[in-house]
């Protein structure tokens, strides 16, 4: 019996050895096949590209730069069939994937050289590097490449954009300035640095305000922009929800889209400053012209049809300041009756609406305003109150800057300068005047009227910073229901625009809340307080002057003393000490080539004082 048990045990051992031998043979054959699969090509890894240039804010704070990343690949003809199971397991654990998934990727490729993962962080491949140093992982390749990192995370994500395969720009500044950032192969160690016009401190502050506001108002999205009204430089570019460009693949395309330049909408009552400015500039009304705002705009057509556009309340007789302070639809509508459709259309387009600014994403939306030939009898008064016209936030802040700087539409910009790896300037922002939109007198009259909107009698009083003169306009726009194509009873855009200081404008700030679902949807109630917080931050961060503020509650025009604009005749005058705002009219001179560099006041000029000035003379003014 004992001999029988021993014989049985020996048979089991032999059977187990045979099974193990067969298994080992199968494994050997399986991975030996992998080693010889595909063509004999010994494809090599991609060449490491030139280091991509940095993206920085206007003060030199780094917002994007390159760091080492790693690709993991395998050469089939170099793997060790005896160790491949263990090696694949090591790599799979490092990548946090299933080994079978990697094996399938290797088998399905017809190439000898196969990428298993790309753009991995150093800490992820470090264990594998240590194994390679010990002679393990035969056939596996750890390829160092340049990868992009955004040290401030979500900050200005929609402006910055992100890079993808090959470290190429896919969105935002990364895409638009890809050639400059990527540089060229050869002598250069890296690409060029791009300095943005935004101030990272202000950007961060406004993002914090916007993120909280979006949550408090349960909104779908929120836009906020700040612009230097005398240069066209964008100081803050905020959109919520935002995303982290370090992990852009984890966010929906709709979350990554630059809606500040792509999304168009009806602006609502904020637009009244542009319609009233157009009518005032044409000389068809004065700041003291009175309109009977008894609760609605009414007009009876020859057909007997009656057009009615309601106000929230009856306001009685209102002048320009009263119409903007109360945000009266009736007042804006009656004022528009004094202007022809073609003239009104032309003036509105002069502000830059229905055309691209040129600084948005490749898909920048020009907005829309139908030609007068396609207007109905109610289109003109409806456009006057901010309906039947579609705009972008980028257009609104650009047009507002023209309103603030004395009436000159400037080309906006988000890039201050571009420098090569040696610090040599390849591009510097210059203020570019597109055209004069309104007269300086009209600009001052509108700003004064907007101060009334910031008074306790106006809809924008919640936006007011107590010790700074502010020009404000609020807006509440019903949105079009995509299903019914009629105005929605539940979806609104609440907005507020602010210009400060009103007596010597430096910046404009615009905020719009899309589909708020909180306690209110009115711009004066929910957008105005956000603007106030943003203005407080801007004043502190940018060092704007504070002082006694004028609370305007009058119905007339207050004259704001303004320094005279620069004038150049047959001889070059001394422009030392002139502000950028005083110099803006010179940019519109077609007979002179005028270039402004820097900010502040003129400290140097070319040609010197007394030089004869002729047609074609090039004038360069350096400000500081």
pLDDT digits (tens, 9 = 90+) for 432-443: 999 999 999 999
Q: Please tell me the predicted confidence (pLDDT) of residue 92.
A: 84
The DSSP secondary-structure symbol of 527 reads I
Taken as a whole, the chain contains a residue count of 624
Q: Please tell me the predicted confidence (pLDDT) of residue 562.
A: 61
pLDDT band at residue 184 under the 50/70/90 scheme: low
Rounded Cα–Cα distance for residues 396 and 499 (Å): 12
Rounded Cα–Cα distance for residues 266 and 475 (Å): 10
Angle 401-405-408 from CA coordinates, rounded to 5°:
80
- Is a pLDDT exceeding 70 seen at residue 531? yes
pLDDT band at residue 45 under the 50/70/90 scheme: very low
The four Cα atoms 309, 312, 314, 317 give a dihedral, to 10 degrees, of -70
| Sheet (strand 221-228) strand order | 234-240, 221-228, 507-514, 487-500, 471-480
- Is a pLDDT exceeding 70 seen at residue 190? yes
- Could you identify the residue written with the tokens 């602010």? 498
420 compared with 577, residue with greater pLDDT: 420
**pLDDT tens digits along 345-384:** 999 999 999 999 998 888 899 999 999 999 999 999 999 9
- Distance from CA of residue 587 to its chain's centroid? 26
Q: Please tell me the predicted confidence (pLDDT) of residue 11.
A: 53
**pLDDT tens digits along 319-332:** 999 999 999 999 99
DSSP, collapsed to helix, strand or coil, labels residue 379 as: helix
- Is a pLDDT exceeding 90 seen at residue 62? yes
Strands 221-228 and 507-514: what pairing? antiparallel
Angle 396-401-403 from CA coordinates, rounded to 5°:
95
Rounded Cα–Cα distance for residues 96 and 455 (Å): 61
483 compared with 446, residue with greater pLDDT: 446
- Is a pLDDT exceeding 80 seen at residue 557? no
- Is a pLDDT exceeding 90 seen at residue 173? yes
- Is a pLDDT exceeding 80 seen at residue 237? yes
- Distance from CA of residue 527 to its chain's centroid? 19
Which of 31-35, 96-100, 246-250 has the highest average model confidence (pLDDT)? 246-250
Under 8 Å between Cβ of 219 and 514 = yes
The four Cα atoms 566, 343, 312, 220 give a dihedral, to 10 degrees, of -80
Strands 193-196 and 55-56: what pairing? parallel
| Sheet (strand 602-606) strand order | 593-598, 618-623, 602-606
Rounded Cα–Cα distance for residues 173 and 191 (Å): 14
CATH entry 3.30.10.20 includes domain 580-623: yes
Going by C-alpha positions, the residue among 212, 206, 234, 225 that lies closest to residue 509 is 225
46 compared with 89, residue with greater pLDDT: 89
Preceding amide of 607 cis, omega within 30:
yes
Q: Which two tokens stand for residue 512?
A: 């719009």
Strands 487-500 and 593-598: what pairing? unpaired
Element (H, E) at 138: none
Torsion sign over Cα 169, 172, 173, 175: positive
pLDDT band at residue 507 under the 50/70/90 scheme: very high
Strands 140-149 and 62-75: what pairing? antiparallel
Mean predicted lDDT score pLDDT of the chain: 88
**pLDDT tens digits along 517-528:** 999 999 999 999
* pTM passes above 0.85: no
Q: Which two tokens stand for residue 127?
A: 């264990």
Rounded Cα–Cα distance for residues 558 and 444 (Å): 9
- Is a pLDDT exceeding 70 seen at residue 494? yes
Q: Which two tokens stand for residue 416?
A: 């201050």
- Is a pLDDT exceeding 60 seen at residue 34? no
Compute the average pLDDT of residues 7-32: 44
Angle 23-102-106 from CA coordinates, rounded to 5°:
85
Rounded Cα–Cα distance for residues 464 and 449 (Å): 14
Angle between helices 122-133 and 84-95 (to 10 degrees): 160
Going by C-alpha positions, the residue among 568, 597, 567 that lies closest to residue 580 is 597
- Is a pLDDT exceeding 90 seen at residue 389? yes
The DSSP secondary-structure symbol of 559 reads P
CATH among 3.30.1490.190, 3.90.1310.10, 1.10.760.10, 3.20.20.70 for 55-196? 3.90.1310.10
Q: What are phi and psi of 617, to 5 degrees?
A: -60, 135
Q: Please tell me the predicted confidence (pLDDT) of residue 561.
A: 53
Rounded Cα–Cα distance for residues 510 and 506 (Å): 14
Under 8 Å between Cβ of 227 and 412 = yes
Going by C-alpha positions, the residue among 160, 149, 152, 163 that lies closest to residue 361 is 160
Rounded Cα–Cα distance for residues 489 and 426 (Å): 52
Q: Please tell me the predicted confidence (pLDDT) of residue 599.
A: 78
Strands 507-514 and 487-500: what pairing? antiparallel
Rounded Cα–Cα distance for residues 527 and 210 (Å): 10
DSSP, collapsed to helix, strand or coil, labels residue 186 as: coil
Candidate from 25-39, 154-168, 573-587 with smallest mean pLDDT: 25-39
234 compared with 147, residue with greater pLDDT: 234
Q: Which two tokens stand for residue 291?
A: 């309109």
pLDDT band at residue 82 under the 50/70/90 scheme: confident
Compute the average pLDDT of residues 574-597: 88
Candidate from 121-125, 262-266, 445-449, 465-469 with smallest mean pLDDT: 121-125
Q: Where are the beta strands (DSSP E) in 159-198?
A: 162-163, 169-171, 193-196
* Neighbour tally for 110: CB within 10 Å: 9
Provide the residue ranges of all domains of the chain, joining segments of one domain with +. 55-196, 218-240+267-411+431-542, 580-623
Compute the average pLDDT of residues 86-111: 85
- Is a pLDDT exceeding 80 seen at residue 41? no
Candidate from 5-14, 297-306, 402-411, 593-602 with smallest mean pLDDT: 5-14
- Is a pLDDT exceeding 60 seen at residue 241? yes
- Report percent pLDDT > 70 for the chain: 89
Scanning 282-340, the segments in alpha helix (DSSP H) are: 320-326, 329-336
Non-local CB neighbours of 251 within 8 Å, separated by 6+ positions: 243, 244
Distances (CA, A) of 119 to 115, 141, 145, 172, 195: 11, 13, 7, 20, 26
Rounded Cα–Cα distance for residues 514 and 575 (Å): 45
The DSSP secondary-structure symbol of 159 reads H
* CATH number for region 218-240+267-411+431-542: 3.40.710.10
Q: Please tell me the predicted confidence (pLDDT) of residue 324.
A: 97
């Amino acid at each position: 019996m004992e001999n029988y048990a021993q014989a049985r045990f020996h048979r089991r051992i032999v059977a187990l050895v045979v099974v193990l031998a067969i298994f080992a043979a199968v494994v050997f054959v399986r991975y030996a096949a992998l080693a010889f699969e595909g063509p004999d090509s010994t494809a090599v890894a991609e060449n490491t590209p030139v280091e991509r240039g940095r993206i920085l804010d206007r003060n030199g704070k780094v917002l994007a730069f390159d760091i080492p990343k790693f690709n993991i690949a395998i050469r089939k003809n170099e793997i060790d069939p005896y160790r491949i199971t263990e090696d694949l397991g090591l790599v799979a654990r490092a990548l946090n994937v299933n080994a079978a998934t990697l094996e399938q990727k290797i088998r399905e490729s017809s190439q000898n050289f196969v990428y298993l993962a790309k753009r991995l962080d150093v800490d992820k491949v470090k264990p594998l590097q240590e194994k390679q140093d010990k002679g393990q992982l035969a056939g596996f390749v750890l390829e160092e490449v340049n990868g992009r990192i955004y040290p401030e995370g979500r900050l200005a994500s929609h402006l910055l954009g992100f890079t993808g395969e090959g470290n190429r720009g896919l969105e935002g500044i990364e895409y638009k300035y890809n050639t400059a950032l990527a540089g060229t192969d050869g002598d250069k160690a890296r690409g060029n640095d791009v300095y943005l016009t935004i101030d990272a401190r202000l950007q961060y502050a406004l993002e914090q305000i916007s993120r909280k506001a979006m949550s408090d108002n349960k909104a779908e999205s929120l836009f906020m922009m700040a612009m230097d009204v005398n240069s066209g430089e964008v100081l803050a570019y905020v959109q919520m929800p935002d995303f982290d460009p370090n992990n852009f693949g984890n966010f929906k395309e709709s979350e990554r889209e630059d809606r500040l330049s792509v999304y168009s909408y009806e602006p609502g009552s904020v637009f009244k400053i542009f319609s009233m400015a157009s009518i005032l500039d044409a000389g068809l009304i004065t700041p003291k012209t009175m309109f009977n705002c008894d609760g609605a705009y009414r007009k009876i057509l020859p057909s007997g049809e009656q057009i009615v556009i309601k106000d929230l309340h009856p306001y009685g007789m209102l002048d320009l300041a009263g119409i903007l302070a109360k945000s009266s639809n009736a007042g804006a509508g009656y004022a528009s009756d004094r202007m022809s459709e073609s003239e009104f259309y032309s003036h509105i387009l002069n502000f830059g609406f229905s055309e691209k600014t040129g600084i948005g994403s490749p898909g920048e939306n020009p907005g829309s305003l139908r030609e007068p030939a396609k207007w109905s009898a109610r289109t003109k008064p409806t456009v006057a109150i901010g309906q039947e016209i579609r705009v972008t936030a980028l257009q609104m802040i650009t047009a507002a800057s023209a309103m603030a700087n004395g009436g000159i539409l400037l080309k906006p910009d988000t890039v201050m300068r571009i420098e090569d790896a040696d610090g040599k300037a390849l591009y510097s922002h210059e203020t570019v005047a597109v055209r004069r939109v309104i007269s300086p007198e009209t600009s001052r009259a509108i700003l004064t009227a907007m101060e009334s909107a910031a008074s306790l009698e106006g809809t924008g009083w919640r936006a007011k910073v107590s010790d700074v003169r502010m020009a404000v306009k609020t807006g509440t726009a019903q949105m079009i229901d995509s299903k019914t194509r009629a105005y929605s009873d539940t979806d609104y855009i609440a907005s507020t625009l602010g210009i400060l200081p009103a007596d010597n404008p430096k910046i404009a700030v615009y905020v719009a809340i899309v589909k708020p679902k909180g306690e209110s949807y009115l711009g004066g109630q929910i957008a105005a307080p956000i603007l106030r917080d943003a203005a407080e931050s801007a004043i502190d961060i940018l060092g704007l002057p504070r002082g006694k503020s004028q609370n305007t509650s009058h119905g007339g025009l207050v004259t704001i003393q303004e320094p005279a604009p620069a004038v150049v005749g047959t001889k070059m005058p001394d422009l030392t000490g002139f502000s950028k705002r005083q110099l803006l009219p010179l940019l519109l001179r077609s007979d002179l080539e005028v270039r402004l560099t820097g900010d502040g006041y003129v400290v140097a000029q070319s040609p010197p004082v007394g030089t004869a000035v002729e047609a074609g003379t090039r004038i360069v003014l350096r400000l500081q």
